[in-house]
Structure 1
Amino acid sequence: MLEGVNVALGVTGSIAAVKTVELAHELRRQGATVRGVMTGSAQGIIHPWAVEFATDNDVVTEITGSVEHVDLCGYDGWADVLLIAPATANTVGKIAGAVDDTPVTTCATTALGADTPVVIAPAMHEPMYDHPGVLEAIDTVADWGVEFVDPRIEEGKAKIASEEAIVCDVARAAGERSLAGKQIVITTGATSEAVDPVRVLTNRSSGKMGRAVAKACYARGADVTLVHGVVGPQPVTRDGIHPGGEIPYATVRSVESAAEMLETTREACADADTLVSAAAIGDYTVEGSDEKIRSGQELTLDLEPTPKLIDELRADHPELPIVGFKAETSGDEAAMIEQARQTLSRAGLAFVVANDASVMGADATKALFVHERDVARYEGTKAGLGGEIADSIAAIVGDE
């Protein structure tokens, strides 16, 4: 997500500075090169050697005659983005007032003057975050184009955002924003049809693919609505449920049944620029029992077909670009392409991503981008495939 991006990581005197080492590691895992900048207060919480270890680069702890702030964040400076994480109330206020009395605030003033993107992840006690002056400073700095990663309000504290949320906003700030201003609706996960209050009909979808597309679209500047179904049966060792239960890169609308997914997607698409239909929507529903069906008896379920979401949305929005997904189990590539092209033609789709159902729940995937006349092949991670899909969407709607 951050391949080739240079991140200047500013660390200030919040206790959340103890999370800096892992944050720096995560930035590097996502492809970034990181250089640390620390205030004196931050050095009282975490040693510069720890930040040096985490970034594999020397750490700026003071501004010297080498004008480190200009080297990092000035015109033609090293950094593609300045990330201040954690940022104290004191630091945010100083940035708003152009007060340059620490290496971090000096880098911030330099970056803002040089039009280098700045991302700030505040962390402080909740009463400080609610102070009118702090809120005014945040609004002031945000009006200058600085991206704020909202903290998590827990236990009377405005805790620093998750590493995933910070990484996503850094990617968004540093990228080209080929989908800026676009409204992208993505369906993902499985649907579930109630047989009785205990039992359901569902499938094995983990929702990973749709979440990967959502994250990639967000990083390219889109506003993303994620219509998320349930997570199908997965071994407990797999990441079937999103870590921490939060999805910071999209507005999430949770649904369960195929009917709920259709209705919610229909509402979300009222102002959409693109729909990505990645969810594994059940093909059949059943009239469920209001009471638990007793075990040990013979049982026949009368299944009824569910409406095809892409057909329904195509009827509602004849011009809306729709990306479809097609999962098959035959292992026959030619048959997979043929099935994908039938769906492509029937619903007038922009393109179809076809894959084998065996990748459900996995992090790696193989897929075919099926267009009317050509087919492109992909093999790699679902995160990488999400990026390829986002780029394809940008090629369709990015300049509109």
Structure 2
Amino acid sequence: MRLKGKKIALCVTGSVAAIISPQIARELMRSGAKVTAYMSDGALDIIHKNTMEFATGRGVVTKLTGRVEHLEKFDLILIAPATANTIGKIAFGVADTPVTSLVMASDAPVLIAPAMDEGMWNNKILKQNIEMLRSIGYGFIEPKLEEKKAKLADISDVVDGVISALAKKDCVGKKVVVTAGPTIEYIDPIRIITNKSSGKMGIAIAREAYFRGAEVRLIYGPGTARVPTYIDVVHVETSGEMLKAAKSEIARCDIFISAAAVSDFTPKVAKKKIETEKGDLALNLTPTPKILNSVKGSQAFKVGFKALHDVSEKELTAAAKKSMQKYKLDMVVANDVSKGTFGSDENDVYIVYGKGKPTHIKDTKEEIAKHIFDKIKKGKIT
């Protein structure tokens, strides 16, 4: 759990998005955090304090009593949602609510997730307030601009913002490029060949790089997994498009991680839809160019993935070592896809790295991503 033992103050202000705050609290707690809610009078007009008390399992601070509720020590203060009014008060040092008093009295990092009308969001005074707060170290989670509103960011992005704010930053200044998801190869204008990759492993790796402070570029095929809004993504479809995108990025990156399930073969594409009345259809498949082969001359730290089906541990790790030598890789992550890990939140992998014994990890893809970067940091990337 990424937030195990962390004390988070979840401050709720008077936006209608306050109805989402209990869910944010629960997700923070699922990540291991201890959450205490602070609510402004405006927030209490939207949701009852008992809702936040039930969500957090702790008492809720709703009034300034002159006691020490604004002096409790936290690892981070999260204001979600934050109104334009609250942001303005914080910018000018006004401490007249439990939320603003806590911010004024605490030395904990502050992360603000705005939610308001689009007109307010675009107001020059608000923008100046945000810019000033950023300049002194306050963090912001960008809202979603939809339906003429600056809506509170998705819950997962808010939680990831908290994780990132508290994570160790050992990849600052590094550019990380990750490929993820499947690719598709067209048979005709409407039919394709593809595979069952969801993209979850590659996205977990991109998230981990972001948490550690890296500049991240994700080259993403048509997977089913959602890409967080804070990840810079290049969308591709075919193996050729992914190859082109990878080649354009490799010269400018420090770490290249090829986690995509790229199609190994491609058919000759028919210009028109193949009619079913023609009966049996035979496809002539030709091998696609290997992305790892095209980037093996790069000075970047290169990580490849090797997927086999229904093989022994010995066969799997031997194939990984062969790939490492063939493509001049620094690390290979190998897995047996017969174990049903496609589309799952978990994976069962062997990490082949250097001359040591392969490391076997069976865990969530999030935890495996952490292991990968821990090993990368022990290598030549400093």
What TM-score, normalized to structure 2?
Answer: 0.95
2:364 to 381, 396, 399: 381
1:352 partner letter: V
1:300, distance to aligned residue in structure 2 (A): 2.6
2:283 match: 301
Of 332, 356, 362 in structure 1, the residue corresponding to residue 312 of structure 2 is 332
Give the superposition deviation at 1:398. 5.7
Contact 1:214 1:249 in 2 (8 A): no
Q: Secondary structure, in 3 states, of the residue corresponding to 1:185?
A: strand
Q: Which residue of 2 aligns with 1:108?
A: 103
Once the two structures are superposed, residues 319-374 of structure 1 have per-residue CA deviations (whole angstroms, 9 ceiling, x without a partner) of: 11011111111330000000000011122212111111131111222111112322
Q: What residue in structure 2 maps to residue 364 of structure 1? A: 346
Is the contact made by 1:168 and 1:218 (CA closer than 8 Å) also made in structure 2?
no
Counterpart in the other structure of 2:269: 288
For structure 2, the residue ranges without an aligned partner over 5 or more in a row are: none
Is the 8 Å Cα contact of residues 310 and 337 (structure 2) preserved in structure 1? no
| TM-score calculated relative to the size of structure 1 | 0.91
Q: Tell me the distance in 2 between the aligned counterparts of 1:66 and 1:143.
A: 31
Which of 384-393 and 218-227 deviates more? 384-393
Contact 2:9 2:37 in 1 (8 A): yes
Question: Aligned to 1:290, what secondary structure does the other structure show?
Answer: coil
What corresponds to 2:29 in structure 1?
28
1:262 matches 2:254: no
Aligned position for 1:4: 5
Secondary structure of the 1:42 match is helix
Counterparts of 1:188-267 in structure 2, within 5 Å, are 188-231=180-223, 240-242=224-226, 246-267=227-248
CA distance in structure 2 between the partners assigned to 1:65 and 1:369 by the alignment: 56
SS in 1 for 2:218: strand
Q: Alignment length, in residue pairs?
A: 377
1:35 Cα deviation from its structure 2 partner: 0.8
Q: Following TM superposition, by how much is the alpha carbon of 1:166 offset from its aligned partner in structure 2, in angstroms?
A: 0.6
CA RMSD after TM alignment: 1.5
The equivalent of 1:237 in structure 2 is none
How far residue 65 of structure 1 moved from its aligned partner, in angstroms, is 3.4
1:84 to 73, 79, 85: 79
Greater Cα offset, 102-111 or 197-206: 102-111
Q: 2:123 aligns with which of 119, 131, 136?
A: 131
CA–CA separation in structure 1 for the residues paired with 2:101 and 2:3: 25
Residue range with higher mean Cα deviation, 332-341 or 345-354: 345-354
Shift of 1:125: 0.3
Matched, 1:46 2:47: yes
Give the distance between the partners of 1:51 and 1:396, measured in 2 at CA.
Answer: 45
Shift of 1:386: 1.8
Inter-partner Cα distance in structure 2 for 1:377 and 1:241: 25
Alpha-carbon distance, 1:397 to partner: 5.9
The amino acid that maps onto 2:352 is: V
Deviation by residue 1:69-123 (Cα, 9 ceiling, x = unmatched)? 222xxxxx2x111100000000111111111111111222233xx2x22110000
- State the Cα distance separating 1:30 from its structure 2 match: 1.7
1:150-199 C-alpha deviation (Å, 9 max, x unpaired): 10111111000001111111111111112222211110001111110111
Shifted more, 85-94 versus 304-313: the winner is 304-313
Corresponding residue number in structure 1 for 2:134:
142
- One-letter identity of the residue aligned with 2:334: A
TM-superposition CA deviations, 1:225-275 (whole Å, max 9, x none): 1110123xxxxxxxx342xxx522311111011110011122233321101
Output the CA distance in 1 between the equivalents of 2:184 and 2:119.
42
SS class of match (2:168): coil
Identity among equivalent positions (%) equals: 40
Could you tell me how far apart the structure 1 residues matched to 2:380 and 2:143 are? 32
Match of 1:117 in 2: 109
> How far apart in 2 are the matches of 1:378 and 1:4?
24
Runs of 5+ unmatched residues, structure 1 = 72-76, 232-239
Q: Aligned pair in 2 of structure 1 residues 398, 7: CA closer, same or farther (>3 Å)?
A: farther
Q: How far apart, CA to CA, are the structure 1 residues paired with 2:65 and 2:24?
A: 27
Q: Which amino acid aligns with 2:344?
A: A
Match in the other structure for 2:63: 62
Counterpart Cα distance in 2 of 1:150 and 1:397: 34
